Structure 1
Amino acid sequence: MNNFKKLLIVAAILIFAGVLTQTFRIMYFSKFIDIEQSLPEIKVEYVSETSIPKDTYKILVLAEKNGETDRMILNNVVKTFDNGKLNYEVLLMEEIENKEFDEFNMLVVATEDYSNFSQYEELSKFLTEGGALVLLTRTFDQEINSISGIDSNYKFINDIGIVFRERIFPGLADMEIGELLDHSLLDVRLKDDIEIVATTKNNKPLIWVRNMGKGRVVYVNSSILEDKLNRGLLLQTVGLGSNTFLSTIYNSKLFYIDDFPAPMKPGSDPVVEKYYGVSNRNFYKHIWWSAMYNLAKKYDLKYTGVMIGLYNQDVNPPFENFNREDIKDFEYFGRKLIEIGGEIGIHGYNHNSLGIDGEIDFEEYDYRSWKTVGNMEKSLEKLQKLIAKIFGDIRIYTYVPPSNLLPASGKEAVFSSLKDIKVLGGVFYGDKSQKGLLMQEFGEDPDYRGVYAVPRISSGYLYNKVKMWEIYNAIAHLGFFNHFIHPDDLLDYERSGNLNWEKLYGELEKIISEVHNNHFYLRGMTSMEFVEYFEKYLKLKVFWKREGNLISVYYENYTEPVYHLLKLKNERIKDVQNGSFAQFYKEKDIRFYLIKGENKKIGIELL
């Protein structure tokens, strides 16, 4: 045998041995290799700019608290401005008698009641000299309506929908919403010098702008901003009041997969058998996960999967043990999730929401009430032991309650059982009357310090206008996308819209790709990665001031890059000192930029 043949044989043996070793490692040894899931324990050092001028951009919010509508609008203003790190002060109408308007750059009115307001002359002067006035709801006050460009005011009427004539924010203003929005508005005739931004479905003026001297009035002829759903519209409408408007954002996108990993439905459902001829288990392993993997890679998504151990109704110990085949699936999908940068969280030992009798309408969901908090704790501990057995001693940071239901007793069980818990994922919108619903505001949990509410904004595979309105309002408000799905939505007639997997996946990709095309800058994060950033964000304070062609931005409690949305009219950015910028939208004379601040003070230089 010549040397060349010997060399070929040796090479073939080495290649075969390598393939065999790699296969053996993947199939066998990976079961004994613990996965890593923990946040870095690094001491955070905050720094603050000490030379912050007193005349930074500031908003005066005028309010009343006489009725539910006034309280709802004011609450939305406060939450929106706090999340956006805007510098503002709230005063009731009766408190402003000795207040100088020229201390502020903008006045935002969050009430229709002007009975305690008399400073019309001062207001006109404020506008003429360059101030901005934003009226967040319609009013019968004749002097205010005259300033706002209303020529004749007839009566209150009801109407629906919104149609934008101006693209005030990418995605949000591209939609013509029909029945989603209900308006109580004034039937008006407007002066010739106003610019209509949006109308109702029936072409009634809804939002408009009027220039007065060097200043500007923005008028919302509707009651819609009392709804939490429309906070993105609120913030971007306020931004219409100024040619230069800067807000601070999370700049993050999260994607939860609820019931994942979870037991697979046995057999083969018709929608799987018809199109693929395989079992449900093989479909999810080889077709569904492949599609989800490609979606994550294509659009920079990081999945947070929240695990279910069993689909049973056990609420009393001793609890049923886990199925061996299910455990293999948990291991397979859990490792796949971590391999692509995802996170494993907990949904529950089973899909029975945690709560005692009277806290949840259990029968409505075909659930059973738990007798004691101790029983809930034991169920969660049983699932944690399984996770440790499969994956090693990983830390669980995220809990999402089944059906988004988590009353007080369930919360107690979660926090006493899950020692590393940092994130509670409920929902941002919902029916307040629903017993036990975990409807949240962003921030620290009101009951447990060191745990953070990270509500999900939207859900499901199916593309529709209502869902996109929810999504774009959150981006326009927070620079934040947070969506969730269930793997078995395909197997449910209602949740799938009776579509096969190819069409259902196409609907999901339509949602993700549209958001990506409009807001490519959003950073993919897991739940625990977001809350690590969010803890620092909550401590941050932002101030900004414009002088000539320079916008100076100052930070208190700065610790890592800060992200802003900057809207400019008739101008563009030349450079950012101690930071960077990216333009993500331009139309006519409006530009939107993402600003990244990388020091305790940055300077945005305009052309």
Structure 2
Amino acid sequence: MKQPMKLNTRIYSIIIFIILLAFVMYLTQTQYFQQFSHSQQNEDLTKNWKTEAASASSVSPQSGPSYCLAYDSNDEFSTKVNMQASRTLGYMKKEVSITDLSKKKLKPSGCAAVILTVRDLSSVGNLDDLASYADQGGHIFLTSMPEQNDAFYRLYRKLGILNAGNYKDEAGVHLRDEVLIGESGLHIDDRFIMNTVMQVELDSSVHVNAETSAGTPLMWSIPSGKGSIMVFNGTMLQEKINRGLIAGAISMMVPDFIYPVFNSKVVYIDDWPAPYGNSIDEAIYKTYKLNRHGFFNEIWWPDMLKIAKRYNVKYTAVLIESYQNRVTPPFDSPSDSDPNGLIGYGREIIKSGGEIGLHGYNHQSLTMDQGTSAAFDYQPWNSVDDMTHSIQEAVSYAKQGFPEYTMFSYVPPSNVLSPEGREALKAGWKNLSVIASLFPEDATGISYVQEYELAKDGIMEMPRVTSGYEATPFVHWAAASVLTANGIFSHFVHPDDVLDSERNKNMNWENMYKTYSEMISGLNERYPWLRAQTSMEAAVDMKNMLTSRISVQQDNSSIKGSVTPLEDESYFILRTRKKVGNLSGCSADKIGDGIFLITVREAEFTIHLSEA
């Protein structure tokens, strides 16, 4: 009978070492451990932001012919539209030349395109020069409904108008073309979209790109000699949330138009993790027989993770330590804090590829203004020092749960942040790198409204665009508009929307889960090219794009570009009616009708084009 083979101690040791090494290698490949390693990398990166920001321009324009904007500084409407067009072209990194028509006349010769934001065409100057510019191959975009005066009637046939009637206020928009990327055929029949439009009869050579819900032509294009003219027959382009129409119109009007985008899909969960306690909510208990803690732990959070996994979402969850309204020290050890919840949920956030950020020590917005605080039934802070101490406590609280993890992103409670509060944040939190508040304009003037930019103190201003668990008409429109102009989807939800019948519109969680799933699923169907990113991941790439120098040279058969410096990859949208041929230093993916996502992987790239 054979004796069993015996392994000596050395062989056992080698086997154990190999097993342990394999286990360590496996761990280092998991998202949980990768996020911790990224923390140190991001700390090093953001230190450089602060030194670069003071001397760097956030949006460095490319070389080439200027896009000529013409407005009237004495006309408030014209000034607003001009600002929206200027911002849009700035993000596109196009060279911009601005003419104030109240001081001098427009000289269109040599312009890459002319964008007129005046309604009174007599202010433009020599209309024959303008018409000649288009006939010789130029492109003109009229961004607002023109006034019917002598100048208009000298030019109206050139605009494709046979007969001009009365003005009328009309709601809604129907996109007959893919003016907004991924949204051909979109019909928003809602009164948040309102335009004063001219009733018109158009020439047969006109191509209508969009109309109101009532069917009045809202945007159209017409050939003009070797060039073209685009007309927007409305008044909505003065609003920030409609910049996508400006981006769409210009990129459809100018042949082979290419511009950089961020290519990010970012979803925030405000107030998570947070101390929600063990209260009984009648509607929740009736359905699930669970208290508040049990519902969030056993139902809501697992469902949110399912959606993230199914639809490729990375959550950036911003924590609250306490819901007490204390605004004076001491701030340590609030009685309602939930360190176990922070650790438990925090691990799952990180494990799923997400990010933990800060919402605040509590939910009192960082402002000392009594009126602003009262608007939310909050307590105003007494001093910058008090705000600073509260931030220090919240950062310390997070460090106690995750000693090796560094937070970088901040979301202001109720999207309110005063200049004093911003200084307190920096004083109490050395690693603050991203502030994510709101993109849309706020009529009340209370919200911290942002542009996408690297501030002079090295903090990325990275606003959110939409919110909620349902793709309402406004959410759908706003998301599509910003995606077209900037290539970013930035959205946020609140866990406690489930508990508030006014905020959830009397929907239970089952219905909210359904509408949220449909919203993210629909987004993925229309924009499958978007990259799921955390707040900090998006900020790193955004900073690189905003501060890079982009140069583009074009002719009828090619686009040659450079990105300096190129960090990893850069992304561009190309609109063209030509066939995309050989590529160098980049790839091209068709994402719409004549629309391509260009992924640049080398500092210099070439796109060859031929007639389709």
Q: State the TM-score, normalized to the length of structure 2.
A: 0.87
Which is further off, 263-272 or 334-343? Answer: 263-272
1:237: which partner in 2?
Answer: 249
2:449: which partner in 1?
Answer: 439
Q: CA RMSD in A?
A: 3.1
- Decide whether the 8 Å contact of 1:262 with 1:309 is kept in 2: yes
- Decide whether the 8 Å contact of 2:580 with 2:607 is kept in 1: yes
Q: Counterparts of 1:510 and 1:71 in 2: how far apart (Å)? A: 39
Question: Is 1:211 paired with 2:218?
Answer: no
Residue 90 of structure 2, aligned match among 82, 96, 99:
82
Question: Is 1:370 paired with 2:373?
Answer: no
Question: Is 1:39 paired with 2:24?
Answer: no
Distance 1:185 1:98, change over 3 A: closer
- Decide whether the 8 Å contact of 1:159 with 1:182 is kept in 2: yes
1:525: which partner in 2?
Answer: 533
Deviation at 1:204, TM superposition (A): 1.5
Distance 1:376 1:3, change over 3 A: farther
Deviation at 1:56, TM superposition (A): 4.2
Distance 1:482 1:98, change over 3 A: closer
The size of the alignment, in residue pairs, is: 570
Deviation at 1:518, TM superposition (A): 1.0
Where 1:285 maps in the other structure, the secondary structure is helix
- Decide whether the 8 Å contact of 2:321 with 2:337 is kept in 1: no
Q: Counterparts of 1:155 and 1:66 in 2: how far apart (Å)? A: 25
Distance 1:122 1:430, change over 3 A: closer
2:601: which partner in 1?
Answer: 598
Residue 156 of structure 2, aligned match among 145, 148, 169:
145
Where 1:523 maps in the other structure, the secondary structure is coil
Residue by residue over 1:477-513, the C-alpha shift from the partner in whole angstroms, topping out at 9 and shown as x without a partner, is 1000000001121111122222222221111111111
Residue 113 of structure 1, aligned match among 112, 120, 138:
120
- Decide whether the 8 Å contact of 2:63 with 2:552 is kept in 1: no
Where 1:74 maps in the other structure, the secondary structure is helix
- Decide whether the 8 Å contact of 2:68 with 2:108 is kept in 1: no
1:299: which partner in 2?
Answer: 311
| Runs of at least 5 residues in structure 1 that lack an aligned partner in the other structure | 5-17, 47-53
Q: Counterparts of 2:340 and 2:310 in 1: how far apart (Å)? A: 28
- Decide whether the 8 Å contact of 2:168 with 2:197 is kept in 1: yes
Q: Counterparts of 1:540 and 1:89 in 2: how far apart (Å)? A: 21
Where 1:496 maps in the other structure, the secondary structure is coil
- Decide whether the 8 Å contact of 1:235 with 1:477 is kept in 2: yes
- Decide whether the 8 Å contact of 2:63 with 2:94 is kept in 1: no
2:591: which partner in 1?
Answer: 584
- Decide whether the 8 Å contact of 1:462 with 1:496 is kept in 2: no
Q: Counterparts of 1:523 and 1:55 in 2: how far apart (Å)? A: 28
Residue by residue over 1:324-351, the C-alpha shift from the partner in whole angstroms, topping out at 9 and shown as x without a partner, is 8721111101111111121111111111
Q: Counterparts of 1:539 and 1:166 in 2: how far apart (Å)? A: 33
Question: Is 1:279 paired with 2:291?
Answer: yes
1:486: which partner in 2?
Answer: 494
Question: Is 1:401 paired with 2:412?
Answer: yes
Deviation at 1:574, TM superposition (A): 2.1
Where 1:383 maps in the other structure, the secondary structure is helix
Q: Counterparts of 2:186 and 2:407 in 1: how far apart (Å)? A: 39
Residue by residue over 1:102-160, the C-alpha shift from the partner in whole angstroms, topping out at 9 and shown as x without a partner, is x2332111222333433322222222222211111121232332321122333332221
Q: Counterparts of 1:521 and 1:503 in 2: how far apart (Å)? A: 28
1:341-352 alignment, distance < 5 Å: 341-352=353-364
Q: State the TM-score, normalized to the length of structure 1.
A: 0.87
Residue by residue over 1:379-426, the C-alpha shift from the partner in whole angstroms, topping out at 9 and shown as x without a partner, is 111222211111105322111111011112211211111111111111
Distance 1:603 1:190, change over 3 A: same
1:498: which partner in 2?
Answer: 506
Q: Counterparts of 2:368 and 2:292 in 1: how far apart (Å)? A: 34
1:80-479 alignment, distance < 5 Å: 80-93=88-101, 99=107, 101=109, 103-140=110-147, 141-178=152-189, 179-319=191-331, 321-323=333-335, 326-358=338-370, 360-435=371-446, 437-445=447-455, 449-479=457-487
- Decide whether the 8 Å contact of 2:240 with 2:441 is kept in 1: no
Where 2:259 maps in the other structure, the secondary structure is strand
2:16: which partner in 1?
Answer: none
- Decide whether the 8 Å contact of 1:34 with 1:393 is kept in 2: no
Q: Counterparts of 1:524 and 1:572 in 2: how far apart (Å)? A: 29
Amino acid at match of 2:580: I
- Decide whether the 8 Å contact of 2:367 with 2:373 is kept in 1: no
Amino acid at match of 1:351: H
Identity %: 26
- Decide whether the 8 Å contact of 1:154 with 1:186 is kept in 2: yes
| Runs of at least 5 residues in structure 2 that lack an aligned partner in the other structure | 5-18, 53-61
